[in-house]
Structure 1
Amino acid sequence: MRHSPINRFRGTLLGAFLGEIATGDIQSQSSLDLGRMAVLGTESLITLGKLDLDDWIARQQQESLHLAATDDISIKIILATLPVALFCHENPIKLQKNLLNVLKIWEDDPVVRDGTLAVGYAISLALTEKLNSLTLIPQIISFLGQTPTSIPKKLLRVQNLLEQGAGLSRAQAEFAKEEKLSNTIAMAFYCFLSTLEDFRLAVLRATHNGNFKVQDATPFSSQATGAITGALSGAYNGIGSIPVNWQVLLLQRNSPTWGLSSFSQMLELTDALVAVWSGVYDIALNPRELVAQEGCEVALLSVYAAPRVIRSR
């Protein structure tokens, strides 16, 4: 295995965060809301060990995260589903089912649905080490199935650009002239696949507008492209591919991250998600269930398992 699951889980969520703030607007409301939604979903999966829509809704209502139907919110929804993509990555059928289920929390939008499935499936292939840059887009289109949206067409345009060796300027001319969700997703896939082994370069390209004057452009468009690109590249290359100085900068600042108290807490949350996904039992969370009364003394129970009895969920 090229990278461990924990390496890729961390790479995905940290990649999305760093890709989002690469524009320099770390404290924007869009950034905080986007990340908070992903954190709440992660906390729900850790607590319950499964996807529970009622719990997701309750947590968002408690945080007063109300969503309106805009492209900005659509990107937030796609990134809010990243914890589900990670948690169900090893089973494509389960992955598709749970991603479609979690989307029921928000308004049904075919483009959001296809974008969520495209990003989630790419992350799934990366984590299972089945992602091939030459076949990824055809595989995603097959995973989406029959759909009325333009996302398959846009992804095929990305494939053509990659086969032609087209540069960033040409890709921007193709996809950055309009503020459309499908164009943002296509641009993110272009930046990821055109610099497959280089997280830093992929993110910098995704957040660089060059000399293009995008009509009605907003800062969030660069944040969104950077966040999706960062999640994809982080899943494929792992946390080790993220520049050390980028990580150190966040640790030194120790500033609130996506509604958490610090960047370190974000890593701890990711590690807890990996533990729950893998079936590791956290004694600290359920101490009473693993203790035995011996007179006046309390001793931890010893739990043993025969070799090779641990199976995939």
Structure 2
Amino acid sequence: MRYSLVNRVRGTFLGAFLGARLADQHISHLGEMAVVGTKSLISLGRFDLEHWLKLQNQLSVGAENHQSWDKILFTTIPLAIFFHESPAKLRSGLLQLQNLWPDDPVVKDTTLILGYAIAQSLNEKLDHQTFIPSTVEFLHQTDTQLPQILEKVNIFVQQGKALAQVEALLAKEEPLIQSLAIALYCFLTTLEDFPLTIGRATHLSLKQQDVRGILAGALSGAYNSSLGIPINWQILAAATELPTWGLSNFVEMLELADKLVAVWSGVYNLAPENSAIAPTEDSISLGFTPLSIFAAPHIIRPR
């Protein structure tokens, strides 16, 4: 295994957050639903849409304020992580998640593509040569133009087109499709370079830089893990206060990410007091007490 699952999951959240932060300093309620969704998965150990809806209704702002693309994409991340090992469960869960916002085929397909890409990286199966064809297959039947757009992106990557050319060729596409295509292009052409990926994705003349930042950041963060993100960037994220997310700072988001992995992997006796998270010189790490026990799902049995 090139990177641990914990580091890849941290990288996914960190990447999405940093991508949005670099594009737009005003992140406000960006991750509020992602936080409550992650907490729901941790507390129940399963995905329960009704529980997500209940938690959403308890938020300080109405559900209508959670329908922007950046918030929807960020909300997709915890579910993609939780179901990353099962394409069928991943697809089913992401389709159920669409009930949190108004029906939009392009939004649906975009969340499916993001979730699938994250899952492929977490499973260490993402191959830049086969990623686009397998993603189109995962989308299955759709009324949107995204399969054709993905094929175009694949051709752009193979031909080595400059980013400015890609931007011009996609200029007439609707904004979300355009943002997804550019984020995928930036990711696939600089797979091993997290800063360059989100730097290219967010420093364009087009609108929706925050959406491209989240997409490119989540994709590259999952692929390169938190170890591939510069430590000074991690410190910047860790110090960010997030009262509108229901968190003191982003370190608490990483703590939730670690707990999500623990629940997914079958941790026994998980409790808030059993973990502590703190910045270190080379990473942001979570420490569990020696009493915590890990195993694959359904392996631990009652004594």
- TM-score normalised by structure 2 residue count: 0.86
CA distance in 2, matches of 1:143, 1:66: 29
CA distance in 2, matches of 1:101, 1:225: 24
> Which consecutive residues of structure 2, in runs of 5 or more, have no partner in the other structure?
275-290
Q: How many Å apart are 1:304 and its aligned residue?
A: 9.1
CA distance in 1, matches of 2:12, 2:296: 31
Q: The residue matched to 1:281 in structure 2 has which SS?
A: coil
State the match for 1:241 in structure 2. 228
State the match for 2:159 in structure 1. 164
State the match for 1:44 in structure 2. 40
- Superposed, 1:302-313 pairs within 5 Å as 310=299
- Superposed, 1:146-295 pairs within 5 Å as 146-176=141-171, 180-209=175-204, 212=205, 214=206, 217=207, 221-251=208-238, 253-256=239-242, 258-284=245-271
Contact map agreement 2:16 2:216 (CA 8 A) in 1: yes
Contact map agreement 1:38 1:80 (CA 8 A) in 2: yes
Amino acid at match of 1:102: L
Two-structure CA RMSD over aligned residues (Å):
2.6
Q: How many Å apart are 1:101 and its aligned residue?
A: 1.0
Amino acid at match of 1:10: R
- CA distance 1:94–1:234, change in 2 (3 Å): same
Contact map agreement 1:35 1:259 (CA 8 A) in 2: no
Contact map agreement 1:19 1:226 (CA 8 A) in 2: yes
Q: The residue matched to 1:133 in structure 2 has which SS?
A: coil
Contact map agreement 1:19 1:227 (CA 8 A) in 2: yes
Structure 1 residue ranges (4+ consecutive) displaced by more than 6 angstroms after TM superposition: 302-309
Moved more, 87-96 or 57-66: 57-66
State the match for 1:101 in structure 2. 96
CA distance in 2, matches of 1:135, 1:230: 21
CA distance in 2, matches of 1:77, 1:308: 28
Work out whether 1:5 is the aligned partner of 2:2.
no
Q: How many Å apart are 1:49 and its aligned residue?
A: 0.8
Q: How many Å apart are 1:112 and its aligned residue?
A: 1.1
CA distance in 2, matches of 1:21, 1:94: 31
CA distance in 1, matches of 2:231, 2:53: 36
CA distance in 2, matches of 1:75, 1:307: 33
- CA distance 1:48–1:190, change in 2 (3 Å): same
- CA distance 1:85–1:164, change in 2 (3 Å): same
Contact map agreement 2:8 2:223 (CA 8 A) in 1: yes
Q: How many Å apart are 1:160 and its aligned residue?
A: 0.8
CA distance in 2, matches of 1:286, 1:175: 50
CA distance in 2, matches of 1:69, 1:310: 37
- CA distance 1:56–1:170, change in 2 (3 Å): same
CA distance in 2, matches of 1:263, 1:303: 24
> Which consecutive residues of structure 1, in runs of 5 or more, have no partner in the other structure?
288-301
State the match for 1:59 in structure 2. 55
Q: How many Å apart are 1:305 and its aligned residue?
A: 10
Q: How many Å apart are 1:270 and its aligned residue?
A: 0.8
Residue correspondences, number: 282
- TM-score normalised by structure 1 residue count: 0.83
